[in-house]
Amino acid sequence: MRITLYIPKIFCISIMSICFISCSSQRTLPTGIQVGQRSTLLNGLEVHDYKLKNGMRLILVPNHDAPVFYIQTLVQTGSVQEALDKKLKRTGLAHLFEHMMFKGTPKYPSGKYDKLLSAAGEVGLNATTWFDRTNYFVNLPAEKIELILKLESDRFENLYIDEKLFKNEIGAVLGELKLGKDRPGTVAYEELMRLIFGNHPYGHPVIGLKDDVASFTVEEAIYFYKKYYSPNNFTMLIIGDIDVGRTIRLVQKYYSHMSSQKIEPAELPEIPGQIRSRSKTITHHAAKNRSLRVGFQIPQYNHVDAVPLQLLGTILGDGDGALLQRTMVDAGLASSISVYSLSLKEAGVFAFNAEIRPGVSKSSIEDAIWSGVKKIASGNFTDRELKRAKNANLLYNYYQINSNSGIAGALVEGILNSGDYNRFFTNLDELKTVTRQDIVRVASHYLKKKKSSTIYMTPEKKNAQNAQNAIK
């Protein structure tokens, strides 16, 4: 049976107008620009995806709520890539380069970059390094779009690197490493990741190991910069009060002449499986109380169980209504309890972190954690608890995408971990459909004693007055 649809003439004219506008805008693009997927976000903002001829990706999200914009340059290289690079095979250079990128170029020497952006009204100028990326970002008034592109393109192509400057930054990072070693929480987290992942790059601290950082040469730094800081390894995101056509032309002006480099895919080693529990007891000079971390290896970000595991963490330990808050903190066993699910590109970690009250035994804390896990795995929780967890996650994520920087962070999360910038937003839809059976399944399957890794941290004896009464 044929169905004939009546389409009003005015609607046909509208469709033709849209096509004409779209086609016209395509003709105004600079030569060599590829047009990618276009999407509309939950808040109604449009995502425009482009790629330059040299491989650089450009994602634009016009948002005219205020005359400002946020810009982030994402370099898809972090601690994983450096550890697997056949010429480096060490840790810490990606983070070290985050420092180096603020040290100036021949055209804009050290300090001038900061002064120019400060005079332009910048807010939040910074950078971070993670397992699979290093990113550089800042907020600026709308009229400063060309200024930042001029400055960023220069430092991403002409960074000044010499022996003295590089050695100075090695010293700065070694100082940062020492500060990290003075923080009990940082040390316990790193030990837990090492226990779970072993020699896999996820088991190395992102900041690097002391001996590795100290051993890098300026020649290796130049090699790293030329190879990984190339346009085919960049994704630039600009969100805010921008004109799409003008912004594309400016990016083309300042970046199109850069040459792409061959970057071979990192050959990731197999993540070690686990058939029996692992544990380690450590002391720390700055620890005032004992703490216990229990972690489990879980699937990667793109896995079907990633979202239910995120909700499981909220049910167990996030907020006053969480199960372990009631049975551990309110019951006087722990001064605090946190539970988190960290999903990365290749795998993830589900972990408990308890600060133990004086006089409470380590075994009491472990029993309380396992009792909570068993309760959830047996389905002994209410629909209200699941609803609370969903609402808490949705509220947090909706709040995140209420800012230009938050939108960029959501897009980057999807790009890095799944290759799809929309993945963060589809996760929100999946979150709404998670059932009780899903929570029971992931709790039963992943949170098993034989798959657990435990770090028990105690104060050193000279600092352990509160631990003297602890039951071993």
Where do the CATH 3.30.830.10 domains begin and end in the chain? 52-255, 278-467
Of 117, 407, 59, nearest to 248 by C-alpha is: 59
Give the 3-state secondary structure of residue 340.
strand
Residue 408: pLDDT band by 50, 70, 90 thresholds? Answer: very high
- Write down the pLDDT at residue 2: 32
Q: Identify residue 245 by its one-letter amino acid code.
A: G
Verdict on whether the full-model pTM lies above 0.85: yes
- Write down the pLDDT at residue 265: 84
> What are the angstrom distances between the C-alpha of 66 and each of 63, 143, 163, 239, 247?
8, 12, 44, 11, 17
User: How much is the average pLDDT of 169-196?
Assistant: 96
| Residue range 52-255, CATH number | 3.30.830.10
Q: Is the pLDDT of residue 24 over 80?
A: no
Q: How far apart are the first and last CA of the chain?
A: 79
φ, ψ (nearest 5 deg) of residue 234: -105, 145
Q: In this predicted model, what pLDDT tens digit does every residue of 261-285 receive, in sequence order?
A: 999 887 888 888 888 999 999 999 9
Q: In this predicted model, what pLDDT tens digit does every residue of 231-265 receive, in sequence order?
A: 999 999 999 999 999 999 999 999 999 999 999 88
Q: Which CATH superfamily is domain 278-467 in?
A: Metalloenzyme, LuxS/M16 peptidase-like (3.30.830.10)
